[in-house]
Structure 1
Amino acid sequence: MTPADTKNYSKTDRRGLDKQIWRLAIPAFLALVAEPLFLLADSAIVGHLGTRELAGLGVAGVVLQTIVGLCVFLAYGTTASVARRIGAGDTAGALRQGIDGIWLAVIIGVVVTVPVMVLAEPLSRAVGAGDEVAGPATTYLRIAVLGVTPLLMMLAATGVLRGLQDTRTPLVAAVVANVLNIVLNLGLVYGAGLGIAGSAIGSVIAQVLAAAMLTYVVVRAARAESVPLRPDAPGIRAAARAGVALVVRTLTLRVALLVTTYAVTHLAVGDQAVGLATHQIAFTLWTFLAFVLDAIAIAAQALTGRSLGAGDTRETRAITARMVWWGVVIGVATGVLLASLSPFLGALFTEDRAVRELLVPVAIVAAIAQPIAGVVFVLDGVLIGAGDGRYLAWGGVWTLVAYVPLVALAVALGGGLVWVWITFAVGFMGARFVVLTLRARSDHWLVTGA
């Protein structure tokens, strides 16, 4: 991606591209930020019940987030396929694929819900809940898992709307769901005296409402195009097959993060509690900054799919180059901000002097990696939008193969937390950068048509 890719584009054209990018990215960013606020509100409300209940919420949250996280392909894959059809001028076909995606979400949700309800206690213990925490965790999980189906429907419907170049409606649904979640949690947990069970019930009701809002918008659009709403088995199977590669991609990312955390727990240098606490804070900051970059990636999915569907590879290259440019610019900006604030950020999270001091060099490493992350997130979104899931899956596997020995070596040589983060920045993010830029420079992903 070089300026040469847009040399035939005038300043006016570039402004037009920027307008398209930010029209999608800004609402997407706000919606992404709203997602963790859901769990944050639950934590704040349940936390006042006691430590046991808060720990139980944390354990149940790990199980639920893992399930929903693995199904993110319902949003990403649907965005790409719908956008491609829109670019080809086939709005009815786009909505047909969107309806198939929502039905697939319902099927997965129903298949997952019953086993998790039955196995709620063993799953809670498998995640690490002891006798004291297993009770609250099981109570919350058995009820909250009823929200998995609406959550997956929200993912699929959001993917459809993004493909239709609409990121505002998911933002509205996220805001409404968050407000309702807070009101219901307060009323049920304390007003009705239901405790942690009330928090789970309130969250499920809010999720059902948000899913209904998003699905209604998609269904209304489908009816306007005379698209049938009944399940279409071949279409659902096609959506499932297309999602397999993205599931593999997501698994490789999650395994890499788990390996990093595992490495931190086995550091021979320094106090383990200090290392883990610092790592948790640093990773929280990294995740928040990732929302900014992921918003551009979401715009990349929608715009890339649309331009390839229209058969316009020149516009695809121009859009990609412009988004990569923005990824670097924002990566530099967030990196400078993170580095400059690193001496003060620790005080927001802890009073432990050792953690606050260790956080400074770790945050600086994370800051230096931000421009690389900007390119990685954008190109990941571009290739998802192009439907290049198979390459992303294999790229994730090879990145993991390269990264795991490096982080193991860093621990074996007695490196501390800073060295683990250097390995993460250079080994993992660097490997992803190479894998994605090599693909983007080729023409193999520029497959046009619906």
Structure 2
Amino acid sequence: MAETADNEVTLRRILALAVPALGVLAAEPLYVLIDTAVVGHLGAVDLAGLALGGTLLSVLTSQLTFLSYGTTARTSRLYGAGRRAEAVAEGGQASWLAIAVGLLVLVLGEIFAGDLAQLLVGRTPVAEAAAEWLQIALLGAPAILITLAGNGWMRGVQDTVRPLRYVLAANIVSAIACPLLVYPLGFGLVGSAIANVMAQTLAALLFVLALVRERALVRPDLSVMRAQMVLGRDLILRSAAFQICFLSAASVAARSSAAAAGAHQIVYQLWVFLSLVLDSLAIAAQSLIGAELGGERTARAQRVAWQITGYSLLLGIGLGLLFALLYPVLPQAFTNDRAVLAQIPEAWWLFVAQQPVAGIVFALDGVLLGAGDAAFLRTTTLASALAGFFPLIWLSYAFGWGLLGIWSGLTVFLVARLLATVWRTYSGAWAVAGA
């Protein structure tokens, strides 16, 4: 297909994809906050059980986000080539794969839930509560993965509004069901897990219904699912690098002191929140870049890549300035513990300085994911983590550098990825045309 100048990508078009995507990304953290507030009144053991069980479920499912990002990369190319029906059919195959992998996660999780909880906190009441919660919540594992696949194919066909409606509907049901099941109906902590399963099941049913309406829920095709797993392998390894580093950072902060652990938790959760904001533009980049390459418009794909990166850089600068100005008041909104407040500056100013860098890195991650360049992202993420972030975390523990060392490691990690993704994008090697 020849390059054309029609339908140029405008800021309005980018925001039409990014804003609903941000809503989907933010829905889960908001639900967790509601769930935490409800369970928090049951007592410390139940709250700790929810925290531990929720973390284990998150770690298990976050390794499988290739069902979302990988599906977007594959479907967006077909959509850009004018083959929308095939793009949606790709989503159908991803949904079958989600069911198969979800059932495997369910079975293994049910067998090892208790062992995993005890491995982290020993034979304690907290471990028992976490295992009880996790064994119920895991019933929703196939539904969680179907939802990931559904988000992936809908983003690929540049529809980010329907996923927002589905996820919001599910979270509203859960927000109503959770307090009812926990208190009036007397299920306690288990009620939280049941509400979680109800929400995930509703969302999955809505995505499956969308496939049925598109007549795309056909028989499983092992060749297509095998190709999806190849892309998934690279994304799983990339995600594992993140998980290992962030779990290590939390561990070292906790080993330093309770104050350091509290300060790290506050700044890290803010970092995660801003990552969601920046990731919404990355999702728009995935969808648009895949479509441009699928339509064999490589020159325009390169222009769109730098265009979105410019917007993301400006957003990162704005977020950095905003949180620099909020420093005198925002930490006090999370804690009044003087020891924790005294530790926060060691992480805060590095967190602020990282935002423009993160703006570029997240956008170019989206560009390269949209192009299906997962092998490059896998290699550079692993190298940046193992050569920069991970060593500095544990050197901080060995030499007592505290949060300054940990957050310096995260900064090195981001800068290394910045250099790699900028070079790769500038080279144009990722811009391979075709569906």
Q: TM-score, normalised by structure 1?
A: 0.92
Residue of structure 2 in register with 1:4 after alignment: none
Residue of structure 2 in register with 1:331 after alignment: 316
Within the alignment, does 1:281 sit opposite 2:270 as a pair?
no
Residue of structure 2 in register with 1:446 after alignment: 431
Whole-angstrom CA distance in 2 between matches of 1:181 and 1:75: 22
Given the alignment, which residue of 50, 58, 63 partners 2:56?
Answer: 63
Given the alignment, which residue of 436, 439, 443 partners 2:421?
Answer: 436
Residue of structure 2 in register with 1:79 after alignment: 72
SS in 2 for 1:253: helix
Residue of structure 2 in register with 1:126 after alignment: 119
Residue of structure 2 in register with 1:417 after alignment: 403
Residue of structure 1 in register with 2:201 after alignment: 208
Pairing of 1:357-376 with structure 2 (within 5 A)? 357-376=342-361
Whole-angstrom CA distance in 2 between matches of 1:289 and 1:430: 17
Whole-angstrom CA distance in 1 between matches of 2:250 and 2:346: 18
Residue of structure 1 in register with 2:239 after alignment: 250
Shift of 1:133: 1.1
Pairing of 1:170-249 with structure 2 (within 5 A)? 170-221=163-214, 223=215, 227=216, 229-249=218-238
Whole-angstrom CA distance in 1 between matches of 2:123 and 2:336: 28
Instruction: Structure 1: state its 5+ residue gaps.
Output: 1-8
Question: What residue identity is the alignment partner of 1:233?
Answer: L
Shift of 1:254: 1.6
Residue of structure 1 in register with 2:37 after alignment: 44
Residue of structure 1 in register with 2:85 after alignment: 92
Whole-angstrom CA distance in 2 between matches of 1:218 and 1:13: 27
Question: What residue identity is the alignment partner of 1:259?
Answer: S
Contact 2:137 2:196 (C-alpha < 8 Å) held by counterparts = yes
Question: What residue identity is the alignment partner of 1:219?
Answer: V
Within the alignment, does 1:385 sit opposite 2:374 as a pair?
no
Whole-angstrom CA distance in 1 between matches of 2:308 and 2:102: 34
Shift of 1:411: 4.3
Question: What residue identity is the alignment partner of 1:388?
Answer: D
In the comparison of the two structures, how many residue pairs are matched? 432
Whole-angstrom CA distance in 2 between matches of 1:71 and 1:77: 10
Shift of 1:47: 1.1
Question: What residue identity is the alignment partner of 1:423?
Answer: G
SS in 2 for 1:108: helix
Shift of 1:176: 1.0
Contact 1:331 1:371 (C-alpha < 8 Å) held by counterparts = yes
Whole-angstrom CA distance in 2 between matches of 1:129 and 1:349: 29
Deviations 1:136-157 (A, max 9, x none): 2121111110011100000001
Question: What residue identity is the alignment partner of 2:128?
Answer: G
Q: 1:407 to 1:121 in 2, by over 3 A?
A: closer
Whole-angstrom CA distance in 1 between matches of 2:120 and 2:176: 29
Whole-angstrom CA distance in 1 between matches of 2:340 and 2:161: 39
Deviations 1:344-402 (A, max 9, x none): 11211111012123323422211111000000000011100000011111111211232
Instruction: Structure 2: state its 5+ residue gaps.
Output: none
Shift of 1:174: 1.7
Question: What residue identity is the alignment partner of 2:282?
Answer: A
Identical columns (%): 38
Shift of 1:229: 1.4
